[in-house]
Amino acid sequence: MHRRRRPALVLTAAIAAAAPLLTACGNDAHPGAAAVVGGQRITLSQLEERVGEVRAAQRAAVQNDAQYQQVIARTGTLTRDTLHTMVLDRVLHRAAQDAGVTVTRREIQKMRSELEDQPGGPEAVETTWLQQYGIPPQRIDENLRLQIEAQKLAEKLGTATDRPEFWKALSEASKDLNVDLNPRYGTWDVQKSSRADAKTPWLRDVTAAQTQQPM
Between CA 96 and CA 91 the distance in angstroms is 9
The residues near 167 (Cβ < 8 Å, ≥ 6 apart) are: 191, 192, 193
Question: For the chain, what percent of residues have pLDDT higher than 70?
Answer: 78
Residue 60 belongs to a domain: yes
Residue 7 belongs to a domain: no
Residue 29 belongs to a domain: no
pLDDT in tens, 72-130: 999 989 999 999 999 999 999 999 999 999 999 999 999 999 999 999 999 999 999 99
The count of domains in the chain is: 1
Q: Which residue has the higher pLDDT, 36 or 24?
A: 36
Between CA 12 and CA 91 the distance in angstroms is 12
The confidence band for 205, taking pLDDT boundaries of 50, 70 and 90, is very low
CA torsion, ordered 126, 74, 51, 136, to nearest 10 deg: 0
What is the mean pLDDT of the segment spanning 32-50?
A: 95
Q: Which residue has the higher pLDDT, 165 or 25?
A: 165
pLDDT of residue 6: 43
Residue 61 belongs to a domain: yes
- Please provide the DSSP assignment of 23-72 as one string: -----SSSTTEEEEETTEEEEHHHHHHHHHHHHHHHHHTSSSHHHHHHHH
Residue 184 belongs to a domain: yes
Residue 3 belongs to a domain: no
pLDDT in tens, 174-189: 999 999 999 999 999 8
Q: Which residue has the higher pLDDT, 194 or 206?
A: 194
Question: For the chain, what percent of residues have pLDDT higher than 90?
Answer: 71
In which domain, by residue range, is 46 found? 39-210
Q: Which residue has the higher pLDDT, 23 or 154?
A: 154
Task: Average the pLDDT over each of 30-39, 55-64, 104-113 and give the range with the smallest value.
Answer: 30-39
Residue 34 belongs to a domain: no
- Output DSSP code: residue 195: E
188: three-class secondary structure by DSSP: strand
